[in-house]
Structure 1
Amino acid sequence: EEVLMEQDLNAVGIALVLLLGRRAALGHCALPCYPRGLWGRLFPTTKNFSSPQSLSWALGYNSSLAVHSMEDGMLLYVCAHTAVIHDVQGSRQYHLQGHANVISCLCVSEDRRWVATADRGPDPLIIVWDAFSGIPVRTIFDSRAGCGVCAIAISRDAKCLVTISAGVVQRVCVWRWTYPNESPVCDVELSPEFGCQDFVIFNPQNPYEFVSNSKTQVIFYLWVSRTAEKPAPGCDRPLLSPQTLGSAVGHFTQSAFHFNATQVLTGTSAGKVVVWDVERKPGLPEEPQDRLHGMKAIKLVPLQEESLTVLVVLESCIVTGDVRGQVKFYNGHLQLLVCYDHSGTSPIQSISFSKAPPDPPDLLKSNCVTLFRGIRASWSDSSNSVSLTPNRNFILSTSDATVLRVATDGADFEKVMQEAKEAVVAIACHPQQAWLAMGSHCGLLKVWDYQQPQLLTSRIFPSAGIQCLSYDPAGSFLAAGFTDGSVLVLDAISLLSCCEVFRFSHGPITHICFSHDSEYLATADEKLAVTVYKRVLQNERGCWEHLAGLHSHYKPIRSILFGIQLDGSEPRLLSLGEDRQLIEYDLISSSKDQLVVVDRHRIEQDAVPLCLAWYPLFSTETFILTANSCYKMKLYNSTTKMCRKTLLGPTYGSPLEKMQILPESAAQPQKHYLAYITKDKVGLQILPVDGNPHKSSAFICHPDGVSDLAVSYDGRYIFTAGGSDRTVLKWEVNLNALEAVASLGGEDLVPFYRLLEGGQDGEFFRELEDYFYYVQLCNQGIDMLETRQVSAYIPLEEIPFVMRAIGFYPSEEEIEDMINEVKFSEYVDSGEQVTKINLEDFIKLYINHRPAFGLSMKTIRQAFQVLGYDNGNGDKVIDRGDLLSLLQCRAALMEEIPEEITAEGFTAGILGLSIAEPEKRTVK
């Protein structure tokens, strides 16, 4: 008997086994049958507080994938890398989290017990979930899918999976997922001439047969031996029979096995259905291989003019969906029974029926299952009409991200969800209410109550897409920036326009924000301009008018930020660009069409600044916090713009893209935290920043890229927008867990010692100590005969020499920043400059200033591109004489240096350095 692996059974949980009173076995017997309505109540009711941030709710879904009806009122769909089981009536969600890449396909067993998901990307996974508990019972790591899976199906008995890879050369694999085998029971490579096979389905009456199709080819598979009922041990390649037709049928869309067990149907973009069947030879017994290779197109049935997008066989009915949003039911002879048509419905993406009722349905004429009541349908071979009776409600999903529920006891289309059909790139949280505003490139603006959660209001802007959003500090207005360069200020409740549309930008608006007193509104656009609007009174109500604009940057603007003047309450405005310029504007001195610049400061020499924020007030000195492309965070004096501290930032695969300070907590008023996003992750950072990596955490949120970040007014939730995945995720913050993780990393210098090669007991640390104390000897004099005064400090001017001695070669600007960082570290409090540094502080300085991942080969190759020449072999090389002249080396080195030096030879042979590639951090 086939049973779940023991470890998988344990994963399901002892409590579940005790509750159900029997073991969840998979074999010749039927799968466990749970009472109707029990599904959805077996999920854990307690929240997981062991993580600093946990996924709480998902808004939107991947409309290119199917939406499945798990139970009436219970949906399954995909949000980015998470499968969501959504109890619509109970306003609950359960998230199946386990993929690191975007889920590319999913399937559900006939009884809705098992869910299989697969992704596309590096190290793709196939995961089988227990839908009753939400627990992954099998994970296939070596899926042999290369770059991922594009199609998946599960057999009717739920014992087998079939997957099709997404590469140029596709591989079809059949898996016995209930077995402990790590390899598929059979697999085969498909020729590229078959086209991209993106749909697959099992024969419901024979798990050893399945069919797949691309736009031009239909392939029939058989993976059982000639004589055995089960697959033969040597049968590791399924037999296949590709078939195609002329262009007159259009493109193939979906295929399905006819309920008569011999025919296969394929829908086309021309509104026709291809009927495939076996060409039988009279008097000869039919073998499985003969059936496979005998499949031919015996009939082409024109059903309609509109393209068919979905083809489903439901018991004894054939159901189609098309580009007009129509759902039609046919009998076994493809004679129309019923047509469901809803005006305004977009092309049907998927059709999913509710679970089969416990009692067998009554059959009508031509073996058609009863489906509807109160709808009259005429049979093509009879003038008598038949009254249809309800049986199975169904869910429709459309290409414009709308989910509809159709109840068979009526003709109403109930809208369950209507989400953004294009990228969601803008989100903003209300400063006083639990409201979240979401903007999409399709022009859809929605405001959600994220505590309920429920939709409060929405508005569609058909002329342009929404690019950025911002509430004013009082929460009365919502400003929106659009892809056509227009700016609109809306009422925060009704979303009605408060003033005319501004059209002063010549490119899409990328950033928008209000001043603290709501007197100013500033925007930045893709044409590198900063535009300011000022509030005025019109008809005794507030409105805004255009003040001035300025092309202040020559590379993309990364951030704009309002602040407050130190000596008053007037607002100040700053902008940060990839041109490494931090610019402050004088709003008071600015006049109509003239935006005055107070200061331009180049804040980086090599790295690219990516975002900035006002640093919380930990001392009497105020700072601006920035993050750059080299994984560094820097503190700049808010007045002088002097770099006061450089710190190692989070290193989770990509630099910080955006960051936002969490509001102060009433329970912990002295604590401050930072929320941030990288390319594909959302994270939290404990402040003050000191370079300790254990004070930061990050989780994958949108594998295809995060577009925006927002924090709730009370700091309890973080929201991320996924851009192209069209979803917004709500993350619940657990600061106690974050503090616990930081404490586990050690106190004082322990976390920093671990960042040194070999740690505190390693050779590198001992070498550093030797250099440190050698500097003291040099300062006291090597030939000194008097008793030496051993100290724990060295002069600041010796810092660059020790840094170079241990393999870090800072630029002159970096040296100045390091010395200033130490020199003025106590100046605000004591008024005195620091002139020396001890070993512990030196270690922190070294770790925070050195390259986050060591010397990269990319940097050295870039230098050789400038200094070298092409040697004819495609390599950039430097002549030995030129190199010696550049380095001013001793002549004794000439014998060890080859005639031509490549970047790799220079690094390994001359410098003797081991190149460190960017670290791949393990992220939950």
Structure 2
Amino acid sequence: MQEEFDDDGEGDYERGEGVNALNLEFVRGYNKDIKDGVHNLTNGERKAIFYSAAHTGVIYDYEEGEQKLLQGHCNKITCTACSADKRLIVTADSGIDSMLVLWDSYDGIPIRTYFNPYENGICALDISQDGRYLATISDDKFQAVSIWDLQNEELDEPIITTLCGYARDDKQYLIKFNPSDAYELVCHGESQLAFLSWSEDSDEIEYYLSPIQQSSFSKKEKKNAAFTSTVFIPDSTKAVTSTEKGDLLVWDISLIVDGMSHTNEKRLTKVLELHQDETSINTLTIHGDYLVTGNEDGSVRFYDFDLKICGWFENLDLGVIKSISFADEEPKSVDHEEEAEEELKCADFIVADSNAVVCKLESRLFEELEPDQKKGEVIFTGLKSAINCIAVHPHEPILAIGGKSGFLITWNYTTKEEEYKQLKEEPCAIEYSPDGKYLMGGTADGLIRIYDPYNDMVELQAPCKTSERSDHAIKQLIVSNDSEHFATMDVNNCVCLFKRDHK
């Protein structure tokens, strides 16, 4: 091996030749719990989305089935953003040796990296409409808000930082620029919301906390409902905040208050009950002339800026909507009857839900009458819960994946095809037999099940037990070379030996 290299230890080599211990080539799944973490990069040149998976960012061309992997973070990515023109991607993580990275969305190359932006990294960020400024919230015990000038290549630190002294133990997890004014932002956690303003000549970010009165709500408990998302209404002084009880809080400058002159001094002007059944509004976004809501019941609804409903996408077979992102294309009209006064015009868009399903929807689906035709196109399905165990087939390019929610997936990592099976119990350990003819599964209840991987995971015999107690979860399985015997170890370090035909 040494003779292949020059005297200085360097030499020409191809990816995958073994010079690096491991080369990441493909990512299965994504960080589904990051709100607004799936971004639609589709335009006239490409059909792609961006998302993060653990420490890695992924640009996925869903038409070609190809991935560009954005690597470099030492910690799990906690938040992402995409510029309005879809050219710039920003990723950030939290923890020791945290990073803030700007990427070119076309070639996946890092444009700029900020090392250790805060002591413990970043938990939320946003890019201004013109792509010049970046706003971040630290993930420290005492949180801070910072503004970064992305066009100043000589400056490797924020141009202004202010501690979130108003938060009162309410962790701030959302920050948004006003698309019409990059010097105004909103920041909030579950209960504390502040409107922020700044200038390039100021040393601090100013903030204003708008009082919330009990009388504004139809029910007492709604006043304490958690905030879920906030956006500014373009070309106006309004902003709206959604809650977990299905309400929409409208903020605006109050002309009644004497001496009010600053745009960040907004008041709660009204509360609208968008969902009478108190279904949570989980995320908000602006698209063209619409306010778009993603909801707990898996629906997506479009409202005009007077908050009158204009269109809706329901019965999509989706979980809680976590992300909504529109393609950078001209909006398409929905074919209405001639007598219709208005028509819904929107670009194709991506939604991602709490079950890790990423789906593409088109405006034309709004007019479809058949339920099966309204559900859109599933681009891919991630993993809806944490992975408990994996096993590699001894002879074929197949990976078996067992999850905390009880799923068992067999994934061909060459063709990217997979089969999904929902099991009766949570799999804690899985292992193929050396001949590859069966798959062993140890459960959280202490059972060992033997599946036929070539026949829809049908069980080949009655399950085995290591104990009469149900709290002895199986943690490890090994199978003998002749595939006739297997051994198990449970959480209590009890080791058991079984013969394959044991009943």
- Measure the CA separation in 1 of the matches of 2:337 and 2:320: 25
Alignment of 1:496 with 2:464, yes or no, is no
One-letter amino acid matched to 1:155 = S
> Out of 91, 106, 114, which is 1:140 matched to?
114
Deviation, structure 1 residue 407: 2.0
Q: Tell me the equivalent position of 1:875.
A: none
Unaligned runs of at least 5 residues, structure 1: 1-45, 225-230, 362-370, 378-383, 536-543, 547-924
Is 2:316–2:376's contact at 8 Å kept on the other side of the alignment?
no
* CA shift in 2, pair 1:105/1:282, >3 Å: closer
Kept in 2: contact 1:142–1:182 (CA 8 A): no
- The alpha-carbon distance between structure 1 residues 237 and 434, as it changes in their structure 2 partners (threshold 3 A), is same
Name the amino acid aligned to 1:499.
Answer: Q
Q: Is 1:396 aligned to residue 351 of structure 2? A: yes
Q: How far did 1:314 drift?
A: 1.0
Q: Does 1:421 align with 2:384?
A: yes
Q: After superposition, give the CA deviation of every residue in 1:155-210 in whole Å (9 maximum; x if it has no partner).
A: 11111111001122110000012212122111100124162110111111111111
Asked whether the equivalents of residues 91 and 453 of structure 1 are also in contact (C-alpha less than 8 Å), the reply is: no
Residue 216 of structure 1 deviates from its aligned partner by: 0.8
- 1:85 pairs with 32, 37, 59, which one? 59
Matched AA of 1:100:
C
The answer for unaligned runs of 5 or more in structure 2 is 1-13, 215-220, 366-373
Worse overlay, 242-251 or 171-180 = 242-251
Q: 2:310 aligns with which of 337, 342, 345?
A: 337
Q: Which residue of 2 is the match for residue 292 of structure 1?
A: 264
Q: Over aligned residues, Cα RMSD in angstroms?
A: 2.2
| Equivalent in the alignment of 1:313 | 286
Give the distance between the partners of 1:386 and 1:416, measured in 2 at CA: 34
**Does structure 1 conserve the Cα–Cα contact (< 8 Å) formed by 2:287 and 2:346?**
no
Deviation at 1:238, TM superposition (A): 1.1
Alignment partner for residue 95 of structure 2, among 98, 112, 121?
Answer: 121
Paired residue type of 1:210: L
Cα shift at 1:372: 5.1
CA shift digits 1:799-848 (9 cap, x unpaired): xxxxxxxxxxxxxxxxxxxxxxxxxxxxxxxxxxxxxxxxxxxxxxxxxx
CA 1:115/1:356 → structure 2, altered by over 3 Å: closer, same or farther? same
Preserved CA contact (<8 Å) 1:106 1:152: yes
Counterparts of 1:142 and 1:519 in 2: how far apart (Å)?
54
Counterpart residue type for residue 392 of structure 1? A
Measure the CA separation in 2 of the matches of 1:427 and 1:188: 45
Q: Does residue 398 of structure 2 align to residue 464 of structure 1? A: no
Q: Does 1:447 align with 2:376?
A: no
Query: Residue 308 of structure 1 aligns to which amino acid in structure 2?
Result: I
Other-structure match for 1:61: 30
Aligned to 1:346: 319
CA contact (8 A) 1:277 1:297 kept: yes
Instruction: Give the distance between the partners of 2:337 and 2:242, measured in 1 at CA.
Output: 26
**Deviation at 1:67?**
1.1
Q: C-alpha separation between the residues in 1 aligned to 2:413 and 2:489?
A: 28
For 1:655, the equivalent position in structure 2 comes to none
Does residue 258 (structure 1) correspond to residue 210 (structure 2)? The answer is no
Shift, 1:244, TM fit: 4.7
SS in 2 for 1:259: coil
Deviation, 1:374, is 4.3
- Contact 2:48–2:60 under 8 Å retained in 1: yes
Shift of 1:419: 2.6
**How far apart are 1:132 and its partner, in Å?**
1.3
CA contact (8 A) 2:310 2:344 kept: no
Equivalent residues in 2 for 1:136-215, closer than 5 Å: 136-143=110-117, 145-179=118-152, 180-191=154-165, 192-193=167-168, 195-215=170-190
TM-score by length of structure 2 reads: 0.87
Higher strand share: 2
Give the Cα–Cα distance (whole angstroms) in 1 for the partners of residues 300 and 337 of structure 2. Answer: 16
After TM superposition, give the deviation of residue 451 of structure 1 in Å: 1.0
Which amino acid letter does the alignment assign opposite residue 379 of structure 2?
A: V
Q: Conserved in 1, the CA contact under 8 Å of 2:311 and 2:344?
A: no
SS in 2 for 1:409: helix
Shift of 1:425: 2.1
Q: 1:524 aligns with which of 489, 492, 499?
A: 489
1:103/1:117 contact within 8 Å kept: yes
Equivalent-residue separation in structure 1 for 2:337 and 2:33 (angstroms) = 33
CA distance in 2 between counterparts of 1:476 and 1:175 reads 57
Q: Which residue of 2 aligns with 1:509?
A: 474
> Percent identity between the aligned chains?
28
Q: Over alpha carbons, which structure has the higher Rg? A: 1
User: Structure 2 residue aligned with 1:483, among 409, 427, 444?
Assistant: 444
SS of equivalent to 1:158: coil
User: 1:89 offset after TM fit, Å?
Assistant: 2.2
1:389–1:254 CA distance, 2 compared to 1 (3 A): closer
For 1:194 and 1:274, locate their aligned partners in 2 and report how far apart those are by CA, in whole Å: 22
